[in-house]
A and B are shown apart, each in its own frame.
Chain A
């Protein structure tokens, strides 16, 4: 018989997004430490899924289903984590598409890829006001603030976020991307990280926190 933690790990690997919440509840009822369930179960599972995607064994929809399964279980397990304790992760990332911009697919893919690679991701959605970004950064103290802009007219919004953060010398790295964004532009506005696609975004993010 598999133990509850291995079952959770396998449920992520097998994309059991519809039923994994019940498994998580059962694990808690059996007295499993929620932190262990997350770190040794879910995180290990999603790592396998991420690696398979990286090797080209599975495709995007499977990767997203894996991430969905993890999310569903986290929704049960996280509230059970004793206050004061926090799950280990590669780092907290706050992500969103900038103000006046509603392109979301690229941003969603980057968010999925990061969470599939061990990052904890808070997604603020699209058309996120610059002040909202700075507010969340101060509140959640993430290691990375990640921004997506798909239009030349909305790119300057990223500078609007980075400016005030730098001024307050908050210890955080900015990671940016989106079709019109270039590495040159990233340097210009003082963003530490840029990537042209979701897969390499993970490598860049790892370097930024590493």
Chain B
């Protein structure tokens, strides 16, 4: 099983009643206001299924019965497969897989220390470093290749990812039908054919609504191509409280759920049994800086609530976390990343997007990947919680050690501390003196050291040579 967090100690932000209220609110939104669906193909399916479709405005009003019925037609046992079996991620609502986040456009060059536009080599390096991290379970390419010809980016992004990680890859640069076709062909080449890919989809595809309450045609129809090939759909909704959603968190979650249910209705009408993932990044708009406040505590809350709503219906959830608007891997970055990640993980979100970026999902730092992975492991310890039983209460040892002595030399201690205590790789817990003696290294220094170690020691299983051939073929086709 892929690296994951076992959430034994669940902490919900919504009560059963809260969830029911949001559910009814979402159904009312779909029935009264509706959602604009700008695809004739989808409109036709919806009309045939009994929806009220206004051709002029593209607004579709959904009968509750249909929405509820199709919310039970999705694939209820989704696995995000890895290129190697040890990285299979079963989305069972009990485990959290932390993904890298996702499609940034800038990179801090690890060697030259320049902040510059992202290149294909950045896609490759970030995938390689992520592959080595135990606080990371699946790969969303951190950035996109911008040093390649227009129209070939999706090919290069996926190639660089496949070659440098064995983990599942979720991809968002395939927003048109032809791009999705290329992506399917590439992934098939990596696993030995289309049938193999259908059995073990090692990629998933991200498609979005356009909040509030719109679904664009091109991205949707691209999603159909993916779904028809058996690729799971991560349907991303982003009502930002105060901007593209009501300022109140509950209201924005209701809008998001309505959009997701609309999306699911369409995808199940297209193909019953589609693996449909409730995905969301509902960060509020900062009312002073006019930016998206990805690292806000509210984002942590909406992510947790949305994950709960996904599970309420029986969908897996991919939600935002580890986000920050900070420009450097500094204190603000750490605080915001934790604030946005802890609530959704403790609520049992299946996947978090994710680690490695700064400036609200814009710029990748390899060091930040390593730092965030450690944060993810800290949260993992919190999520595991505290076991209370005869063994852990340890009365025998307590009586044995008695008053005023220590537990260091006890067999119980040796047996338990490795699993009871989280042991950091990056955090420095030494005293001032020994820290100073070893060069007063900052967190960033230590993270860089870890990145260098990974480059030296880590190995990734090579891809079949068919992949390279398929890449060449597709590049020729798309460069025309």
Contacts and interface: CB of A to CB of B under 8 A. Distances in A.
A198 B290 contact: yes
A23 interface: no
A100 B175 CA distance: 10
B322 to A, nearest CB: 18
Contacts, number: 41
Contacts of A156: 150
A109 B153 contact: no
Given A179-B362, A180-B105, A152 B291 contact: no
Contacts of B153: 152-153
A199 B247 CA distance: 22
Contacts of A100: 218
A105 B289 contact: no
Interface stretch (A54-62, A88-96, A133-141): A54-62
Interface on chain A toward B: helix, strand, loop, or mixed SS? loop
Interface string A151-181: 0110010000000000000000000000110
Given A105-B244, A152-B144, A60 B285 contact: yes
A109 B290 contact: yes
A113 B289 CA distance: 12
A153 B150 contact: yes
Nearest to A108: B243
Contacts of A182: 117
Interface in B271-297: 285, 287-291
Contacts of B243: 105
Interface residues of B, number: 24
A152 B290 contact: no
A27 B208 CA distance: 47
B34 interface: no
Contacts of B290: 60, 109, 113, 197-199
B298 to A, nearest CB: 15
A61 B210 contact: no
B146 A152 contact: yes
Interface in B150-195: 150, 153, 173, 175
A102 B244 CA distance: 13
Contact of B288 (A56, A102, A152): A56
B196 interface: no
B216 interface: yes
B106 to A, nearest CB: 8
Given A102-B210, A179-B362, A60 B287 contact: yes
Interface residues of A, number: 18
User: Residue among A100, A113, A153, A156 with the most chain B CB within 10 A?
Assistant: A153
Contacts of A109: 290
Given A102-B210, A105-B240, A153-B150, A61 B105 contact: no
Interface string A186-210: 0000000000011100000000000
A153 B156 CA distance: 14
B242 interface: yes
Nearest to A60: B287
Contacts of A199: 290
Contacts of A102: 210, 216
A152 B105 contact: yes
A148 to B, nearest CB: 13
A206 B240 CA distance: 30
Contacts of A56: 288
A153 B117 CA distance: 13
Contacts of A61: 242, 247, 287
Most chain A CB within 10 A, of B105, B144, B240, is at: B105
Nearest to B214: A102
A100 B217 CA distance: 11
Interface in B129-154: 144, 146, 150, 153
Contacts of A179: 105, 362
Interface string A69-103: 00000000000000000000000000000001010
A109 B216 CA distance: 22
A206 B210 CA distance: 32
Contacts of B291: 197
Contacts of A105: 240, 243-244, 285
Contacts of B287: 59-61
A60 B117 CA distance: 30
Interface in B247-288: 247, 285, 287-288
Nearest to A109: B290
Contacts of B106: 180
Contacts of B218: 100
A61 B240 CA distance: 14
Contacts of B210: 102
B177 to A, nearest CB: 14
A35 B362 CA distance: 45
5 contacts: A60-B285, A105-B243, A153-B150, A180-B117, A197-B291
Interface of B: 105-106, 117, 144, 146, 150, 153, 173, 175, 210, 216, 218, 240, 242-244, 247, 285, 287-291, 362
Instruction: List 3 tightest A-B contacts by C-beta distance, closest first.
Output: A180-B105, A59-B287, A60-B287
Given A113-B290, A179-B105, 9 more contacts: A59-B287, A59-B288, A102-B210, A105-B243, A105-B244, A152-B144, A153-B173, A153-B175, A179-B362
